[in-house]
Homo-oligomer: A and B are copies of this chain.
């Protein structure tokens, strides 16, 4: 990884050897939250959306960030300056801290901020993806927690099904991918995404807010059955932007290539993201 400095709690450290005591509640009990945004040409993209969600996740999980938003932004600016990685991903993690008994929350969480250069692979915008479905409802799904247990456990399952990622559904109700939101385009050209029991992604939010388009984009309950008639499908995330889904469970979506609605939304999102400013 092309990184150099990280910030932990109150100071900057060399990333390569930066460590956390094993009594941290992430190591002991998988307890913590994070957020992740990208920088393009040294400008953070949708930073305030990500910080809104970071503070929301922290509050929901009873964790005190201990820094105001402006203090946090100062640290982010200093980290970006030290690392000088124009195109990067920045991750802000907040764990349950150094618990006295290995179970109850510590008085103070541990804050870890890392920055890594984006590989060209992560920036590829023309990639397409195949999904396989799996019946699973994430716990505390509205919060961006550290829990990716089932997601990582499913990696062999994904490979066995010749897919590249998994699409969760809850007894047929479509939800999300582990690190991306899911949209489908109906026969009537409506662009739909699940409205509940998911993590509400920042890219997803920005697509829902694309008012300058004549395409209907809406939150609505969608199901496994809807996949059979969908003309297009795509997933969205900070790293993937809008990535076309060409097949699900081995069956083509539409004609199995990127469709016109997906292409148009990609272009609109690109315009919106390009308005990113400095911290």
Contact = CB atoms under 8 A, between A and B. Distances in A.
Interface stretch (A29-37, A64-72, A211-219): A29-37
A55 interface: no
Contacts of A179: 103
* Copies of this chain, count: 2
Contacts of A149: 29-31, 139-140, 145-147
Chain A residues touching B, range: 35 or more
Contact of A19 (B22, B146, B148, B155): B22
Contact of A152 (B22, B100, B104, B156): B104
B153 A30 contact: no
Interface string A50-80: 0000000000011000000000000000000
A24 interface: yes
Given A21-B18, A153-B61, A153-B140, A28 B103 contact: no
B28 A146 contact: yes
A95 to B, nearest CB: 7
A193 B105 CA distance: 30
A26 B26 contact: yes
Interface of A: 1, 6, 8, 17-32, 61-62, 93, 95-96, 100, 103-105, 112, 114, 136, 139-140, 145-153, 155-156, 179
